[in-house]
Structure 1
Amino acid sequence: MQQTHTLHDLGRVHFLGIGGVGVSGVARLMLARGVPVSGTDAKDLPVLAELSALGARTHVGYAAENLGDADTVVISSVIKPGNPEYDAAVERGLRILHRSEGLAAAMDGHHVVAVAGTHGKTTTSSLIAVMLRHAGLAPSFAIGANVAGLGVNAEHGGGRLFVAEADESDASFLNYRPDVVVVTNVEADHLDHYGTAEAVAQSFHAFASLLPADGLLVCCADDPGAHALATRMRRERPDLRVQTYGFGDGADRRLVDPVHEGGRSECTLEWGSGEQAVLDLAVPGDHNLLNAAAAFAVGLDCGLEPEEAVRGLASFTGASRRFDFRGEAAGVRVYDDYAHHPTEVLAALRTARAVAGEGRVHVVFQPHLYSRTREFWRGFADALSLADTALVLDIYPAREQPIPGVSSDLVANALNTDGGPAAAAEAPARLAAVAAPGDIVMTIGAGDVTELGEEILAALRGTARA
């Protein structure tokens, strides 16, 4: 069990990788709580100016002297020995915490709602935070993306509730002490860390086991992994309250009669002895109705009336890079999505199909990580084959070195649709050449493929002028 810290323990805190979305969020929270904050990033990102305006001392480029008089150093997962500030912190004997441990300190004293899952945790935690804020409960939150309606990805709200997206990628979510846990799904992913699907499932079990007596566990009954977790926890921890949600008959809260139209989604949510509510969302897709059902369960547990919870969920307009509308040109709508697992890609494309109606769907996909591509290339190809056109870029390596024999060609050569391998520079023109009014174009992946959105729109405008 990890040692827990309070903000009072930490003294002056210096962040390495302070420009990252997760680390910058923790820095925002600490600044709002009066903690002296400094930090360094390799790039001069806009968020550094934002943090400086809040009172942080920021630096671009790592150097040992940037540590100043720090007592504690908080690092992102990409910071390793050899970084001059990290090495200097070790030499000085400073307390070094992972980002998740820093976030755990910022959560101290709150009623913590932690949202985990292989997919959907960003949107679900965003839905919960928007719903609670709409109800006037002033939640604090830390989410892995900027959220329309919240303005930022992390904030100290001043209320007793804290909503946190709990990252399972390196098992760092085990550093939290949640009062409520939501598990949207449990699938094989991050096998570079875990090794096996069984180890992934065991990590989620360990996370749910952190709940105190009378804590609440909310799991998706439609997902085999999450359903198995709910079943196991009911058996092992009768002191917990375990609730499930889903479209299937066995869910405690059942979604029925879904309707998708004009980029919106609606369904009826049934539970108990005839109780029901209508979920009316400004975001499309069955997966978002499921995410909203999980958020609804949390809202009731936090004391909201069903009508209050429904109104708050209806005000949600999306999280950054989650079926994110980038613009329209020549009658073609362009969207961007962070999907980087086959299940996520399939969900994004099913949503695109529903929104496109009679139109076609064209995709440029960038695989993320060599290890993930090695494990899931067949699944990616199957999911992408739902599109009318799928262009596959080179792998975005992020933190990894190449793996012999692993390339994006594994995905591209297994496609059962038009398209194939593509260079980023040529993708916008190729998509503009095949897209017609009423079609949808999507950029999909967790890397820099998102930057192609504006280029695709420009190419479409050029096609329209021609």
Structure 2
Amino acid sequence: MNIGNLHSVHFLGIGGIGMSALARWFNHVGIKVSGYDKTPSPLTEALEAEGMQISFEDKMETVPARVLEDKNHVLIVWTPAMPKDSTQLNFFQSQGYDIKKRAAVLGLITADLPSIAVAGTHGKTTTSSMVAHLLKSGGKNIAAFLGGLTQNYNSNLILHDEAGGQPTVVVEADEFDRSFLHLHPNTAVVTSADPDHLDIYGDPEHLLEGFRKFVNLLPQGGNLYIHSKAFEKLGLGRGERFQIQQYGIQSGEIQARNIQPGPASFSFDYVGKGKNIEGLKLFMPGFHNVENALAAVSIALDWGISEERVREGLASFRGVKRRFEIWVQEDDRVFIDDYAHHPEEIRAFLGSVKAMYPSKKLTAVFQPHLFTRTRDFAEGFSESLSIADEVVLLEIYPARELPIAGVNASMLLPAITSPRKSLQTKENLLRYLSENRPEVLVTIGAGDIDRLVGPIAKWMKEHEN
């Protein structure tokens, strides 16, 4: 398929964070964009404001005529999160349209460009955003397709300067449905390889095999930066055709030392690649984000960015929406929101919050995401949530799944060892918080808990302890 021959691209699931970046890219280069999504959102509203035609009814009547009249110059981009009984998806499949997943389209766009692909069951959005920011702030011409809205650019897409020569492409490599195997990286990062998406992979070993196939996409002489724990899990050898460098806080060739957690930032020393860069400041807190920064700094140094510009770039990085996002920070009350939806992510997040506010009571509100994930990792969720002094559970956000008998948020409660724990409804949450006056409050989850963040922040800013 030649992208230059397209007159229209139609997206099924256009409101997804990764899909919308692709939609913006096609719209930017002058190709007509339309799409379907289940519900309106601020993201779909932004796309409509940029001139894209979006419908929220899965009917053929809502598809633009140009898409239906000339299938030879139309590309359909779809997400595996689309239901299998989708009217539009089944029509396009039955009529022989060119249908590709997001990652396959990214592969087409970036096949002939130097690219950096960041993968991992957690940490990939923050790390790819850090890489993109360090390169861009360091003066490099880049295009970036990210899985979250960066605070610096208020976008999940960074467009290159067409007058600036060949760009470097930074892409978040999604392991869901093995999508990352479509990519063509010259440099790759693997932040983690903990079990997840077992509804897709079946068991942890098949997930690890997917990551092994991903790193083997690297060409002769390519570079792999991999967290030392992920390196051990994947069982990679030193005789690979590409260069492997491990990173971690206390392991690997690249390390963070002298880590100092603060109420709004972490400082650390970067040690690796023959350098010792002292006193780097990261205003996106968290031990796990320090590790993410190790990979990003290493790539920036590879791209010839000076230590001073790396220092400035890291200090100016403002993070990603819903990744350790501090909404309220006052002496008597703190509110932080995070997208964590896996036990290891929750463990890293809550452990970092505890380090930042060691003398304050920590209240965690968690909305589990997916019935299968809750079932598969119930013990891990209960254990990691127990880091908090109080745990408030909301009911499971089903996303693409149908209910599973016996699987619900309440099943996590018995094994949670926090002094206080309860199950609350979304409708009653604000009243519950008002009655209990949390000191340090965090909201956690990948579902629609994000719709409660604004009201909670407003309430917390207005109330007095």
Residues 113-132 of structure 1: matches in 2 within 5 Å?
A: 113-132=116-135
Q: Among residues 143, 146, 156, which one is paired with 1:143 in the alignment?
A: 146
Residues 48-197 of structure 1: matches in 2 within 5 Å?
A: 48-65=44-61, 66-70=63-67, 71-158=74-161, 160-197=167-204
Tell whether the 8 Å contact from 1:26 to 1:106 is kept in structure 2 after alignment. Answer: no
Counterparts of 1:129 and 1:226, CA distance in 2: 24
- Superposed displacement of residue 62, structure 1: 2.8
Q: For 1:343-397, what per-residue CA distance to the aligned partner results, in whole angstroms no more than 9, with x for missing partners? A: 1011111121122232111011111111111111111111111111101111111
Q: For 1:414-450, what per-residue CA distance to the aligned partner results, in whole angstroms no more than 9, with x for missing partners? A: 11011122222222232333335xx210111111122
Equivalent residue for 1:440? 440
Q: Specify the SS of the correspondent of 2:399.
A: coil
- Superposed displacement of residue 72, structure 1: 1.4
- Superposed displacement of residue 297, structure 1: 1.2
Tell whether the 8 Å contact from 1:72 to 1:96 is kept in structure 2 after alignment. Answer: yes
- Superposed displacement of residue 133, structure 1: 1.2
Equivalent residue for 2:451? 451
Tell whether the 8 Å contact from 2:231 to 2:246 is kept in structure 1 after alignment. Answer: no
Equivalent residue for 1:240? 242
Tell whether the 8 Å contact from 1:6 to 1:106 is kept in structure 2 after alignment. Answer: no
Q: CA RMSD in A?
A: 2.1
Counterparts of 1:196 and 1:38, CA distance in 2: 37
Counterparts of 2:249 and 2:84, CA distance in 1: 48
Q: Among residues 200, 217, 222, which one is paired with 1:215 in the alignment?
A: 222
Q: Which amino acid letter does the alignment assign opposite residue 450 of structure 2?
A: T
Equivalent residue for 1:22? 18
Equivalent residue for 1:226? 231
- Superposed displacement of residue 252, structure 1: 1.2
Mean alpha-carbon deviation: is it higher for 264-273 or for 340-349? 264-273
TM-score (norm 2): 0.92
Residues 32-51 of structure 1: matches in 2 within 5 Å?
A: 32-51=28-47
Q: Specify the SS of the correspondent of 2:147.
A: coil
Would the alpha carbon gap of residues 357 and 302 (structure 1) be closer, same or farther in structure 2, given more than 3 Å must change?
same
Equivalent residue for 1:283? 284
- Superposed displacement of residue 79, structure 1: 2.1
Q: Which amino acid letter does the alignment assign opposite residue 144 of structure 2?
A: F
Counterparts of 1:85 and 1:168, CA distance in 2: 25
Equivalent residue for 2:422? 420
Counterparts of 2:435 and 2:91, CA distance in 1: 54
- Structure 1, gaps ≥5 residues long: none
Tell whether the 8 Å contact from 1:365 to 1:390 is kept in structure 2 after alignment. Answer: yes
- Superposed displacement of residue 46, structure 1: 3.5
Equivalent residue for 1:410? 411
TM-score (norm 1): 0.91
Counterparts of 2:42 and 2:374, CA distance in 1: 31
Q: Specify the SS of the correspondent of 2:19.
A: helix
Identity of aligned residues (%): 33
Counterparts of 1:146 and 1:156, CA distance in 2: 14
Would the alpha carbon gap of residues 320 and 365 (structure 1) be closer, same or farther in structure 2, given more than 3 Å must change?
same
Q: Which amino acid letter does the alignment assign opposite residue 14 of structure 1?
A: H
- Superposed displacement of residue 272, structure 1: 4.4
Q: Specify the SS of the correspondent of 1:314.
A: helix
Would the alpha carbon gap of residues 20 and 203 (structure 1) be closer, same or farther in structure 2, given more than 3 Å must change?
same
- Superposed displacement of residue 218, structure 1: 0.4
Q: Which amino acid letter does the alignment assign opposite residue 365 of structure 2?
A: V
Counterparts of 2:137 and 2:304, CA distance in 1: 13
Tell whether the 8 Å contact from 1:33 to 1:156 is kept in structure 2 after alignment. Answer: no
Equivalent residue for 1:331? 332
Counterparts of 1:9 and 1:176, CA distance in 2: 22
Q: For 1:121-179, what per-residue CA distance to the aligned partner results, in whole angstroms no more than 9, with x for missing partners? A: 11101111111111121311111110011220013213511111111121111111111
- Structure 2, gaps ≥5 residues long: 68-73
Would the alpha carbon gap of residues 458 and 161 (structure 1) be closer, same or farther in structure 2, given more than 3 Å must change?
closer
Q: Specify the SS of the correspondent of 1:96.
A: strand
Counterparts of 1:184 and 1:120, CA distance in 2: 6
- Superposed displacement of residue 98, structure 1: 1.1
Q: For 1:199-247, what per-residue CA distance to the aligned partner results, in whole angstroms no more than 9, with x for missing partners? A: 11110000000011111100012x2x33443x51523x2x211111112
Counterparts of 2:457 and 2:242, CA distance in 1: 50
Counterparts of 2:176 and 2:357, CA distance in 1: 33
Counterparts of 2:456 and 2:264, CA distance in 1: 21
